[in-house]
Amino acid sequence: MVNPLTRCLEDYSLPPFATLRVSDIVPAVRAAIAEMTLDVNAIEDDLSDPDADISWATVMDRLEIIDDPVNRLWRIVIHLSRVTDSPELRLAQSEVQAEVLTIQSRRAQSVPVFRAMQRLRASRGFHEDLTAEQQRILDRAILDATLNGVALNDTEKARFNDIDVKLKEVGNQFNSNTLDATKAFAHVVHDKAAVAGLSNAMLATLAQNAVAAGYDAATPAAGPWMLTLDRSNYSAVVTHCTNRSLRQLMYQAERTVATSPPYDNTPIIQEMLQLRREQAALLGFDSFASLSLENKMAPSASAVQDMLDLLRDKCVPLARAELADLEAFVKDVAPDVAATTLPLQHWDIAFWYWLFTPMLDFCADSLPTMYRSVHCNVIYTAFWVYKSIPTGATVNAIIQFYPDYLQF
């Protein structure tokens, strides 16, 4: 039976995600690596011949065909790791990752291939026969080979490749820690008042979370409700929940994910920084930032910093003004809340910004009444409905736009 991943490579078709098994990954990757190894050996032999025909077809087209199977297959594995993470998938990925990097480095650091690309760029045909797009592709291929260490000596290449493998390993560990720490967070709420402001649909989701965690009697109406750091859960709480303490808990949990044992990424980040510095130094760069910018639009690290400084100088005063407007809004619509809420904290911004929009022109006397008497979900709808109401209308004018079942 043909491996379905191998078949999708041969047919240039999409992977059969619905029927794909983790056990298909390792044999398919190793088969592609074996084929690529033979192909790299063959092109190196051909291009090492002094009389070899050096053209776009014999160099660049052929390299694309050689690179494609392993690159395409490995992208499938990376994609799966991001959307269907599991211990089995992590094990399969880690089992062949070093092998993938080895053959990719072998190809990227091939001296015969690099010299052939240089000869092609120096030939008359570069300007006469190649399109502007082909010239750009060739220039980038030569640059990529240089940044992958093709010009290093054997000892330096060995260390460069060891660093590359280690960076991928710690990068995977960083991602795994982040995913595991995110999944590990759970906060169960038993008091419905504590989740006020959340939609019925979100309460149903949170009740389902609780059922899955063993709270078999959980219901959307009566709870309990289990909050996680799933993006939809998190966004709903910090944007719509009236419980400030719960917003704070969720915000701080999300911002500090993977910062404490057993999923602490701090030492991993430090190791990544050290490895990046060493790799950049091997290639002759004074920093990893300079290395990273070699194939980007920005001319230098200092230029990037200058741009960031310029943006900061322009944006910070505007941000402070917007924050002042938002805090003034809180004072107007809920002076009793403002006494204990101001100055606004990070976990307050999304909640109050959702209630605030400069396009609204409610009279000051009517806004506090609306805030105190209308359920939060209705307030959100009121702001959207207001687009169809004449400027200057009061809350009483809005009531006619709502069905009878909405409570004021």
At residue 268, the pLDDT reads 97
- What stretch of H or E contains 226? strand 225-227
User: Does 372 score more than 90 pLDDT?
Assistant: no
CA distance 93 to 408: 57
pLDDT digits (tens, 9 = 90+) for 11-52: 999 888 888 999 999 999 999 999 999 999 999 999 999 999
Rounded to two decimals, what is the model's pTM? 0.80
For residue 365, report the phi and psi dihedrals to the nearest 5 degrees: -70, -30
pLDDT digits (tens, 9 = 90+) for 64-100: 999 999 999 999 999 999 888 899 999 999 999 999 9
At residue 362, the pLDDT reads 45
The CA distances from residue 291 to 40, 165, 168, in Å, are 27, 18, 17
393-397 LR contacts (CB < 8 Å, sep 24+): 393/362, 394/362, 394/363, 394/365, 394/366, 395/362, 395/366, 395/367, 395/369, 395/370, 396/366
Nearest Cα neighbor of 304 from 318, 315, 316, 290 is: 290
Helices 4-11 and 25-48 cross at an angle (nearest 10°) of 40
Which residues are bridge partners to 187 per DSSP? 227
CA distance 308 to 292: 17
User: Does 287 score more than 90 pLDDT?
Assistant: yes
Nearest Cα neighbor of 220 from 199, 197, 240 is: 199
At residue 357, the pLDDT reads 63
CA distance 408 to 398: 11
At residue 403, the pLDDT reads 39
CA distance 107 to 160: 14
The domain over range 4-151 is classified in CATH as 1.10.10.10: no
Average pLDDT over residues 241-250: 97
At residue 19, the pLDDT reads 87
At residue 186, the pLDDT reads 97
Domain range annotation of the chain = 4-151, 186-255, 299-399
pLDDT digits (tens, 9 = 90+) for 177-207: 999 999 999 999 999 999 999 999 999 999 9
